[in-house]
Amino acid sequence: MKSLLNITPVCSWLAGAERPLIIAGPCSAESEVQMLNTAKSIAAIDSKIIFRAGIWKPRTRPNAFEGVGKVGLGWMKKVKEETGMLISTEVANANHVEECLKAGVDILWIGARTTVNPFSVQEIADSLKGVDIPVFIKNPVTPDMQLWIGALERINQAGITKIAAIHRGFHSHASTPFRNDPKWEMAIELRTLCPDLPIICDPSHICGNTDLIPYVSQKALDMDMHGLMIETHCMPTVALSDAKQQLTPAQLSGLIKKLVVRKSNSQNPDFKNKLEELRESINKTDEDLLQILMNRMLTAEKIGTYKKENNVTILQKNRWEDLLNERLSNAAMMGLSEEFVRALYVLIHEESIRKQTEVMNNKISI
Spatial distance between the Cα atoms of 68 and 241, rounded to a whole number of angstroms: 12
Query: What are the distances in angstroms from CA 250 to CA 38, 83, 216?
Result: 10, 17, 18
pLDDT level of residue 154 (50, 70, 90 thresholds): very high
pLDDT tens-digit map of 37-83: 999 999 999 999 999 999 998 878 888 888 999 999 999 999 999 99
Spatial distance between the Cα atoms of 221 and 259, rounded to a whole number of angstroms: 8
Q: Which fold has domain 10-258?
A: TIM Barrel (3.20.20)
Contact present, 124 and 155 (Cβ < 8 Å): yes
The answer, yes or no, to whether residue 358 has pLDDT greater than 60, is yes
Burial of 274 (0-12, 13-18, 19+ CB in 10 A): exposed
The answer, yes or no, to whether residue 3 has pLDDT greater than 90, is no
pLDDT tens-digit map of 180-207: 999 999 999 999 999 999 999 999 999 9
Sorted by sequence, the CB contacts under 8 Å of residue 298 that are 6+ apart come out as: none
Spatial distance between the Cα atoms of 213 and 255, rounded to a whole number of angstroms: 9
Per the CATH hierarchy, to which homologous superfamily does domain 269-360 belong? Answer: Chorismate mutase (1.20.59.10)
Q: Do 10-258 and 269-360 share a fold?
A: no
pLDDT tens-digit map of 45-57: 999 999 999 999 8
- Domain boundary assignment for the chain: 10-258, 269-360
The structure's pTM equals 0.83
Q: What's residue 62's pLDDT?
A: 86
Contact present, 222 and 249 (Cβ < 8 Å): no
How many residues are present in the chain?
A: 366
If you ran DSSP here, which 8-state letter would residue 260 be given? -
